[in-house]
Amino acid sequence: MIESMTGYGRSEGSYRDMVIVAELRSTNHKYCDVAIRLPKFLLPLETSLKKLLQQRFTRGRLELTVTVNGASEQTRRLDLDLETARQYSRLLSELKAKLELPGQVDLALLTNFRDIITTSEWVEGADELTARVRRLVADAMRRLGGMRRKEGGALVRDLRRRIQTVEKALRRIEVRAPDTVRDYQARLKDRILSLTGGVQLDPGRLAQEVALFAERCDISEEITRLRSHLGQFKAMIKGNESVGRSLDFLIQEMNREINTIGSKSGDAPIAMGVVGIKTELEKLREQVQNIE
């Protein structure tokens, strides 16, 4: 089923005395753009979660936020880099000896170097916690997908109604097209009679002028192509694939054809039909921007 690019999914669970919430928002975007916000101790998950989202969704701005509340077992861990401390001690002792400096290379001096003792956030049972987070994110994705499909269904129904409106207007234009030549012939004949004071014009010459006009304002090819594009559009929105960009391209082609029809016809009723179709195509374009 066609999916919209907008939606929201939320999943909540617990791990020991912690409450974990995964929230996933999706908005319109030309491509698949993923932004992830995680607690520091979950940052190693960022790459795999991003890949998971990109495998499921092909378009949209996706914002995933994972929060962990009440993590009483979360604490700051101090890590000692003993090898770095040895290097500092050796180099400082060497510097003291060569420059004959006073003082001692002792613990107080070494603790001034911040890269010897570092802090990091950690959670006991981190593997179990990350597995739980993955399941909650997957559930949020499922909920988001359900909302996107529901909205996508509403979009498809609206698109079908608008396509039907375009098809009806196109049929009216097609029926009207032959009348434009006859009207032109009558107007041309009346104008010539008025200018010549009633002198009859050579029928062959009149027919030639009408034939030239008919060739210039022939819109049958544009109507055929536009109808073909409409058929492709209807076929695409029946499928289950990501078709947003393809539909957007088709609407551009439809606009090209209807603009050509408007410029070639020079007929007021057809011009009104062209305006109506262009209005519907613009509404179609706006709706297609929401489709994955």
- Average pLDDT along the chain: 84
State both tokens at 245: 């960009």
pLDDT in tens, 134-161: 999 999 999 999 999 999 999 999 999 9
Helix (H) or strand (E) holding 276: helix 268-288
Alpha helices, H only, the chain: 46-56, 82-99, 107-110, 126-195, 203-216, 220-236, 244-265, 268-288
Pairing of strands 32-37, 18-27: unpaired
- pTM for the predicted model, two decimal places: 0.68
Residues in the chain: 292
The answer to whether 105 and 93 have CB atoms below 8 angstroms apart is: yes
What are the residue ranges spanned by the domains of the chain? Answer: 7-73+124-148, 75-122
pLDDT in tens, 144-203: 999 999 999 999 999 999 999 999 999 998 888 776 656 555 555 555 545 455 556 556
pLDDT in tens, 253-266: 999 999 988 887 77
Q: Give the CATH number of domain 7-73+124-148.
A: 3.30.230
